[in-house]
Amino acid sequence: MRTDEQGRGGRVALLVLPLVAVLLAFYLLPLGRAIVNSLHAFGPAGIDSTVWTLENYRRAFDPHYGAVFLRTLRISVIITVITCLAAYPVGLWIVRLSARAQALVLLVYMAPWLVNVVVKALGWSLILGGAGIINRVLKGLGVIGPPLQLMFNETGIVIGLVHGHFMFVLLPLWAALSALDPNLRWAAANLGAGPRQIFLRVTLPLTLPALLAGGLINFIMNMGAFATPALLGGSRTRVISYVAYEVNLVALNWPLGGALAVVLFLIVLVPIWLAGRLGRSRGAG
């Protein structure tokens, strides 16, 4: 029996091995490598592995790169807030539909994830560009004179990513809203609560954990987004993932690139850690 157990454990290990290998090869090893690199000096001759230094981290926080981090953080938070605010009405609307309609509508909201980022960005430029649909309509109506700048700035990134990452908030929120016992809303109404009070005192608190979970994923996706900001943000509005790419693969400054990656990684860990703490204190309290 004992050998049987061991045999089974061995088989499981064998099955998991490829996954572990992939994670090691493509995720943990490069991350470790980047951390090591970020602590070395960089000279005209390239990376100097004999020198250990924190210089790269000092540069990561200098005004130039610091500003890029702040911009990325700001854009990501704005996108997450807009997405969370917009996802509630959409989610409340969806759960009132028939089961079939719900599946269909959810598919529509998931569609952006199924379309190539470059194709999406191209689509957006047809809508948001100087000669795009929005500007032509507004101009035709006489609302605006010179075209609005909706692309190649932060506005463009926000629009593109609110669209692109919407479902990361919508899906968990929809799941929580569907799981909500309708009797709870009726009970609240029966005790005198109007629609507003029902939302604020029952629906919102009971679906907030799902919203926070979705918002967290959304925020992380925003911080790490690469192609959409690159295509819709233009050359003046760079986010950290793009800058890190340039430092690594254009300037070939792997130590600084590693430091930028590690700092981004740590920034993203903070909300994850906070959410974990919040979850635990809720569970305990």
Partner 1 sequence: MLQIEGVTKRFGSVVAVADVSATIEKGEFFALLGPSGCGKTTLLRTIAGIYRAEGGTIALDGQAIGERPISARDIALVFQNYALFPHLSVFENVAFGLRMRRLPRREIATRVEEVLDLVRLRDLARRRPGELSGGQQQRVALARAIVVRPRLLLLDEPLSNLDAKLRDEMRDEIRALQRRLALTTVLVTHDLREAFAVSDRVGVMRDGRLEQVGTPWEVYDAPQSRFVAAFVGHANILSGAVTAVGDGAVTIRTDAGLTLVAVRGGLDWRPGARAWATLRPERLRLDPGADAANRFETTVADVTYLGNAVTLRLEAGGTTLRAQTTYVGQALPAAGARVAVGCGSGDLVARPDEARAD
73 binds partner 1 (CB under 8 A): no
Quote the radius of gyration of the chain (alpha carbons, Å): 24
61 binds partner 1 (CB under 8 A): no
186 binds partner 1 (CB under 8 A): yes
29 binds partner 1 (CB under 8 A): no
CB of 105 to partner 1, least distance (A): 23
181 binds partner 1 (CB under 8 A): yes
49 phi/psi in degrees, rounded to 5: -80, 0
The CB-side HSE value for 30 (13 A sphere, CA atoms) comes to 10
CB of 284 to partner 1, least distance (A): 12
Quick one: 27 or 186, whose CB is closer to partner 1? 186
146 binds partner 1 (CB under 8 A): no
188 binds partner 1 (CB under 8 A): yes
Quick one: 7 or 279, whose CB is closer to partner 1? 279
Q: Are 135 and 147 in contact (CB under 8 A)?
A: yes
Give me the helices (H) in the chain, please: 2-23, 29-38, 55-60, 63-95, 99-114, 117-128, 133-140, 154-164, 167-179, 182-190, 195-198, 204-224, 227-233, 240-249, 254-284
Quick one: 183 or 235, whose CB is closer to partner 1? 183
CB of 215 to partner 1, least distance (A): 19
Give the span between the Cα atoms of 11 and 17, in whole angstroms. 10
Cα–Cα distances (Å) from 41 to 252, 262, 264, in that order, read 13, 16, 20
Q: Binding pattern to partner 1, positions 193-222, x when CB under 8 A?
A: xx--x---xx--xx----------------
Contacting residues toward partner 1, per CB under 8 A: 181, 183-184, 186-194, 197, 201-202, 205-206
